[in-house]
Structure 1
Amino acid sequence: MEKFPSYQRLFLILLAGIALVVVGGLLKRQNVGGSGLFALVGLAIQAVAMIMMVYKYAKGLKS
């Protein structure tokens, strides 16, 4: 069986993604090079964490 992280760990990963997006936005506001990459990586982390949370929740409904 697949072993997914707990909801707490997924939520912390989601918060890390939010932090990266905020840092990327602040750096973009100051025209720092590579700031768009921070935002893009943060959004990707958020997307993966949310997909895993929804999948884990849906899998728990079947049981």
Structure 2
Amino acid sequence: MFGLGMSEILIILLIVVFIFGYNKLPEIGSGLGRAIQNFKKASNEPDEIDVTPDNDKESKEKKD
């Protein structure tokens, strides 16, 4: 996994727990999961194009 061994992963996990605290880990995990889910959703959806006519331009053209 990314060239990391088990000892490196444990050290990183201990540093994260030390910095953020044990109680904040579920919040961080759920926030990260939601961010990844929204990114995947946005990358899979096609771009939306607004094709509604501009009524202001049409009303000005009719007056002229």
Q: TM-score, normalised by structure 1?
A: 0.40
Give 1 or 2: higher helix fraction. 1
Larger C-alpha radius of gyration, 1 or 2? 2
Query: Which of 1 and 2 has higher RCO (CA within 8 Å, sep 6+)?
Result: 1
